A and B are shown apart, each in its own frame.
Chain A
Amino acid sequence: MRVEVDVPKCVGSGQCVMIAPDVFDQREEDGIVVLLNDRPPAELHADVEESAVVCPAAAIRVVEK
């Protein structure tokens, strides 16, 4: 799986960090998403998919399955 984040779209709601903290973090200064790992291991795939669905700003995309 490969993940992409669209940083300008992010509204800093932190949903992704709550669901997949090993994949997503937030910038200290404004809470905007930081992608920690664009190729997360298989055991995190379900959480990453869920983050993409729940992200209110549609800022997370799974580009390769």
Chain B
Amino acid sequence: MNALMAWLDNRTGYKSLMHEALYERVPGGARWRYVWGSTLVFTFVLQVITGFMLWSAYSPSTRTAWESVYYIQNEMTLGYLIRGVHHFAAQAMVVLMAIHLVQVIIDGAYKAPREINFWLGMVLMMIVLGLSLTGYLLPWDQKGYYATQVTTNIMSLTPVAGAEVQTLAQGGNQYGHMTLTRFFAMHAGILPALLVAFLALHIYCFRRHGLTVHDENHAPETSFWPDQVLKDAIACLAVLAVVLLFAIFKGAELSAPADAAVKFDAARPEWYFLFLFRFLRFHAVESIGLVWGAIVLPGVIMGVIALMPLTHKFLGEFGHTLNKAFIWLLGAAIVVLTAMAFIEDRNDIDHQAALAEAHRDGGRAVELASGPDRIPVDGAVGMLRRDPFTQGPRLFAKHCSSCHRYNGHDGRGMLVTEKKKVAPPTASDLGNFGSREWMRSIVVDYAAHLSPLKNAGWFKDAKAKEEAGEDVTYLNPDESEMADWSGYPESLLSDENSENLDALVEFLYSEANPGYIPADVKEREEWVNALAANEQLAAKGRAVATEGAWAGDLEGTSCADCHTTIGEDFVAVSDDDADGYPTMAKYGSAKWLTDFIRNPGAPRHYGAKNEMPAYPPQQLTDEDLNLLVRWLTHDYLPSDVPDYPSRLGDLPSAGDAAADSNEADEDATEGQDLEENAGEEATEQE
């Protein structure tokens, strides 16, 4: 064995190399304060290992990047861990780099003869920041996409060749396949190669001048091996442990796939750039020009740091004191700005709502990707564009929320406000549309079910006219035939009718037929629709609805007395064939709802009493209407993603609404509020 080693040493000289590497002098003994450089090298090695693995599964294009990262994260063996380690080690690297820099400055390790190495270190820092910036985009999720848009836009501020720099970074005029391929080449090839080269120079220079000893008399002199190596190894283990803990318990996030057409309001840079982000939000900074805040000032800060060796050279120890003061001040400013950004975001309702939506979309994208249809060829973006659960809330917020609410919010978790106050709904809350509760409330408490109408401007106007003796046709929840019928609670809610009522509700519910049935025949056989109605009970209810199988006072009355088509298939009967009452044929079903939204004022629906604007295709395309209807009827792959919490408790009570409306009446010259106008005047069909 020894002979072999001797031969190898003769041919390679490895022994002197090892000696050179391991027996560096450490005057004053091994110390914890010397470990930071080593932990950085270790973290980089960690990044190389996990990065190569991610590379082996990643596919850079706009239709495969998110998809391959999803696959890594959710399906590959230990994928979430490999990606998690890469994600968190990247952040550890930035933190360790900051510590390393501060420590170098405090210990004066930048002073002559070590200036060059200090500058090499700064180059390394730039490379690491470049790596984090390019890596952030690669998953091609909304978060990375929109944050990087901001960065490349800032690049365009570069003096002289801004547009060219931006175009080169983006690989074209806008984001696309080439943006990813180029960012990936930078992230996985060019920058790591540069990092290795500069790291080699950095370490070479470091060894040439040796440690900057903090205190020679701290302990007897030792050598790098084994004392300092032990401390370094323990520090690296601690870094690894922290990174692993984060990777296991927090995990790297993957938000929804990037889509230029979908607004993303929660865009934020990675947390260690938040201080810059927050700095840019000072209006004072903006007023002197973005280029100053985003490029010149960071450049000046970097410049001051780079000049530190010269500051010391010309001003001596006073210069060193200045340098230390500068780095502490800078650190304090960064901490304060970062904290500000965090606290402000935490208290920003809109930002929190945007975040909630981002999480919901991200969770849903993963859910669909692992669902029965997997990811279609046009990518996860197309998948989400066709998903009612994702698009429904947005369409609702856009088209319906000025009058309706969904569990008290606008469909996207936000309260609808008017003049800084929560606006009362002026139409039904559709959060439980088509459910058993919805059907029951129509049957037994019609007036209360429609009571939000009474908040509407048109209602107050009509009521005022009526009281003034004019003849007005309008829907008054308190004074309609249905309300009269609903007003027999003593009979309707009596024990003798309780079974009949349950059956009727079940029947109505079964007619609405909510829930999702897979298109795939094989899957349909095994599919259980959790929302399916109880067929036996519904059959009994059909008799109650069509034949009036009631007991007590209600005996002999049936829904079919007025709603003649109840129980039949929904057909959009012509105006002449309408029976004068809203049709209950498959009431609440997708077919009924589609027709209703297009023609709410048709005689087969609310006729002359209708106040809802019709939504023709130029306002709501067939595609969008289909998504909206499928969302309201729960016709989508069921979701475990936490939905927006109910905001029903935050709505103004009727009393508040009345008070508001009185105020509004007083200062109302042109319409009570914008929303009602929007609702009323949106479409006057010609």
A and B: real partners?
no
Measured CB to CB, the residues of A under 8 A from B are none
Measured CB to CB, the residues of B under 8 A from A are none
